[in-house]
Structure 1
Amino acid sequence: MAKHIVGNTNEILPGQKKIVSLEGLSIGVFNVHGTYYAVKNSCPHQQAPLCVGKVSGTTLPSKPGEFLYGREGEILRCPWHGWEFDLTNGHSLFDPNRCWVKTYEVEVGQVEEEPPKLETYPVNVEEEQVIVSINR
């Protein structure tokens, strides 16, 4: 599994997103209340650029005559036809068991990079001359 640095936490503040291209895929990275989520930037309905859609909340189960709104900042709405997806797991709101958008693991931290490996050769100093030895 390849890991890619997409930016620093101060570049994607709560409620913001960043769309990046990784390994030929367009992916939206969202900061939802301080937790980061990544989804493929393609609606499964007609491949609209999903991540340019509006992020909002949704109505919650409630008693008849009541209107409860919640989950603000967790629901991504497709800009073309209004299909809604849960950013926390990629599932659609209308049919979560059969329709979803691909999600990707996101972590915050430091990537341990290996220092570049350089090919080295022994060096000897003889009679004020510098000599490099290459053994093949």
Structure 2
Amino acid sequence: MSDDVPSAEPRSLRRSFAAMVLVGEVFVVGFASLVAKDLSDVSGRTLGIVAGGTAVLCLLAAGLLRSRTGYLLGWAVQVLLVLSGFWVPMMFVVGLLFGGIWFAALHFGAQADAITAQRLAAARVDRDPATPTEGAP
């Protein structure tokens, strides 16, 4: 077996990028709750419950990214971040920014996974010359 071609399937870059965004949002939610404590009329207890719940949702979504559920929860987190702008207006900007980053992570991660799959398929064909190629008789 060749050393330059891994035998196992590579890790999904889409999943890795999405997980990085969600873990980053845990920090954003934490820092935003500190700002919201001083800028909004929401009680500290309510703010702690909402921020803690959102952070847990981010981590849960990151942990479930092996299934479609994780990605759906990730989209829910993006919506919640934008909606939090009703209590702290700057969160509209932060939520939209992270929504864009989330979309980019999914879009470009999927493209990177497709390129990786094509390269692995080409490497398998190169390794096994008995495998027929497209257009060959």
Q: Same fold (TM over 0.5)?
A: no
Give the helix-richer structure, 1 or 2: 2
- Asked which structure has the greater CA Rg, the reply is 1
How does the TM-score come out when normalised to structure 1? 0.26
Give the strand-richer structure, 1 or 2: 1
How does the TM-score come out when normalised to structure 2? 0.26
Question: Which structure's relative contact order is higher, taking Cα pairs within 8 Å and 6+ residues apart?
Answer: 2
